[in-house]
């Protein structure tokens, strides 16, 4: 008996949305098995994670804090995926954005104070966009594989930031820690109410709406969808694929760059090494988010908040139950694994052939 995959003629719409839901549930089940194997009651652990993330106003504020860079990176990655440009480089673009924002601070801002934050945002988006344009340009001109170039440029960007915080921008009184001085108050994003939630979250929310209209309602969004659906049809319809790749990647990198800016300006208040959580960097989590969100901006918002909760819950069980924070990474990886598998099964049907008797027919 042999198994093979057969294309489904009418892939179900419902399945498209059920796959992410079941993937999340399945990954929690598998992870529960792992927790059991280490002698932890998974229900207790999950309960603690849930309570922390959604049970207290402090916890939920933290969820939104984590969700902010995820929304921004997720939107960027989603736009690129929409036209089948596999941008795996949000992490590098985020780092370049953080660097660009910091550059405004470090070079001594001379303009009016109220303009400093907008200037940092613009610098961050420009830095992220330029960084994303490198692989985009290479793709358009030389047809390089963007998965490789965007991925490898992440390491370059992280080392670029390291160069500045170990070298020219290092705080002289940091006792040798690689970080800049704390940003002046004028370079810090205002916080909302009494929480750590900051203006960046509102900006991210606004951008969800903007991206929704651009992607789903505009002529240009239609071009992106056609290019992603059938590049040859896009050419036939008179769309300029090369220019669209450049524009989409500039936006994608700009959004990730903005994520870097909000992290340094609202959370870290300085440029330092781990602007993105070491265990599960935002730029990579964004890939999972874009995939789970079914390339839908509202989906990005929803999934980012869930992922934010996973981060917060993971930190909690690390502190209270001494579980490794890598549990976050394991659950994320399992989710992606199940979504990819589920996507294949929703487009194909698994068929078992019984070998025909020889001589028949």
Partner 1 sequence: MALRGITKRFPGVIANDSVDLELRRGEIHTLLGENGAGKSTLMNVLTGIYRPEAGTIEVWGEPVQLRSPKDAIDLGIGMVHQSFKLVATHTVTENIILGLGRGLAPVDLDKAEKRVGELSRRYGLEVDPAASVWQLSIGEQQRVEILKILYRGARILLLDEPTAVLTPQEADELFVTLRAMREKGHSIVFISHKLDEVMAISDRVTVLRGGRNVGTVEAAGTSPQQLSNLMVGREIRFTRFPRRDELGELVLEVEGVSATNSRGLPALTDVSFTVKAGEILGFAGVAGNGQEELAQVVTGLIQPDRGAVRVNQRPMQGASARKFIDAGVSYVPADRHGVATVGDMSLSNNSVLRRYREAEFGSGPFLNFTAATIYARELIKQYDIKTPGARTPVRQLSGGNLQKVILAREMTTRHRLLVVMSATRGLDVGATEFVRQALNEHRHQGGAIVLISEDLEELLSLSDRIAVLFHGRIMGIVDAADAEIETLGLMMAGRPLSEVGA
Site for partner 1 contains 10 (CB under 8 A)? yes
Q: How far is the CB of 230 from partner 1 (least distance, A)?
A: 4
Contacts for 203 with CB less than 8 Å, ≥ 6 apart: 258, 262
Q: Measured from the CB of residue 231, what is the shortest distance to partner 1 in angstroms?
A: 10
Q: Which stretch binds partner 1 (CB under 8 A): 37-45, 175-183, 216-224, 247-255?
A: 216-224
Q: Which two tokens stand for residue 218?
A: 């505009």
Kindly provide the b/e burial profile for residues 186-210, where b requires at least 16 CB atoms within 10 angstroms of the residue's own CB.
ebbbebeeeeebbbbbebbeebbee
110 contributes a contact to partner 1 by CB under 8 A: no
CB 81 within 8 A of CB 226: no
Nearer to partner 1, 10 or 107 (CB): 10
CB of 85 to partner 1, least distance (A): 17
- Site map (CB under 8 A) of partner 1, residues 338-357, x = contact: ------------------x-
Residue 361 CB, shortest distance to partner 1, in Å, is: 6
Task: Name the nearest CA neighbour of 178 among 274, 252, 106, 250.
Answer: 274
Q: Does 148 bind partner 1 (CB under 8 A)?
A: no
Q: Which of 12, 57, 144, 218 binds partner 1 (CB under 8 A)?
A: 218
Smallest CA-to-CA distance from 179 within 160, 159, 161 is with 161
CA distances from 219 to 67, 84, 211, 239, 247 (A): 29, 18, 13, 11, 14
Task: By CB under 8 A, tell whether 220 contacts partner 1.
Answer: yes
- Give min distance, CB of 218 to partner 1, in A: 5
Contact of 87 with 80, CB cutoff 8 Å:
yes
Q: In the bound complex, what is the minimum distance in angstroms from residue 295's beta carbon to partner 1?
A: 12
Q: Does 221 bind partner 1 (CB under 8 A)?
A: yes
Site string for partner 1, 224-263 (x = CB under 8 A): -xx--xx-xx-xxxxxx-----------------------
CB 313 within 8 A of CB 59: no
**Which of 141, 219, 322, 354 is the binder for partner 1 (CB under 8 A)?**
219
Q: Does 212 bind partner 1 (CB under 8 A)?
A: no
Helix (H, G, I), strand (E, B) or coil at 24: helix
The answer to whether 241 touches 227, Cβ cutoff 8 Å, is yes
Structure tokens at 106: 């470090």
Looking at residues 32 to 91 of the shown chain, list those that interact with partner 1 (rule: CB under 8 A). Answer: none
φ and ψ at residue 235, rounded to 5 degrees: -65, -45
Q: Among 256, 311, 247, which Cα is nearest to 82's?
A: 247
| Residue 241 Cβ vs partner 1, minimum distance, rounded to whole Å | 11
Nearer to partner 1, 47 or 228 (CB): 228
The tokens describing 325, both together, are 């924070």
- Residue 14 engages partner 1 in binding (rule: CB under 8 A): no
Site residues (vs partner 1, CB under 8 A):
9-10, 213, 217-223, 225-226, 229-230, 232-233, 235-240, 356, 361
């Amino acid at each position: 008996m042999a198994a093979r995959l057969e294309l489904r003629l009418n892939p179900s719409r419902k399945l498209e949305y059920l796959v992410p839901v079941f993937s999340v549930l399945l990954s929690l089940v598998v992870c529960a098995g792992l927790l059991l194997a280490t002698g932890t009651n998974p229900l207790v652990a999950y309960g603690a994670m849930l309570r922390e993330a959604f049970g207290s106003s402090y916890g939920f504020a933290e969820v939104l804090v984590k969700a902010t860079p995820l929304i921004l990176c997720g939107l960027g990655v989603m736009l690129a995926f929409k036209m089948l440009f596999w941008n795996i480089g949000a992490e590098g673009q985020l780092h370049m954005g953080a660097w660009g924002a910091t550059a405004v601070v470090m070079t001594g801002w001379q303009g009016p104070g109220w303009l400093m934050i907008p200037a940092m945002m613009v610098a961050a988006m420009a830095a992220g966009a330029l960084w994303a344009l490198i692989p985009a340009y290479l793709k358009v001109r030389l047809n390089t594989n963007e998965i490789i170039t965007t991925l490898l440029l992440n390491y370059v960007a992280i080392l670029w930031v390291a160069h500045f915080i170990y070298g020219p921008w290092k705080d002289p009184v940091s006792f040798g820690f690689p970080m800049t001085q704390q940003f002046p108050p004028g370079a810090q994003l205002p916080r909302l109410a009494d929480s750590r939630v900051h203006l960046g979250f509102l900006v991210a929310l606004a951008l969800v709406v903007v991206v929704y209209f651009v992607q789903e309602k505009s002529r240009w969004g239609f071009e992106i969808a056609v290019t992603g659906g059938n590049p040859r049809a896009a050419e036939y319809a008179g769309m300029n694929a090369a220019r669209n790749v450049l524009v989409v990647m500039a936006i994608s990198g700009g959004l990730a760059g903005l994520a870097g800016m909000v992290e340094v300006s609202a959370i870290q208040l300085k440029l330092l090494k781990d602007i993105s959580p070491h265990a599960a960097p935002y730029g990579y989590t964004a890939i999972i988010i874009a995939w789970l969100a079914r390339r839908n901006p509202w989906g990005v918002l929803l999934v980012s908040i869930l992922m934010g909760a996973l981060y917060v819950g993971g930190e909690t069980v690390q502190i209270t139950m001494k579980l490794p924070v890598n549990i976050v990474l394991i659950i994320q990886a399992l989710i992606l694994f199940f979504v990819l598998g589920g996507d294949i099964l929703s487009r194909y049907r698994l068929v078992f052939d019984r070998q025909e008797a020889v001589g028949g027919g």
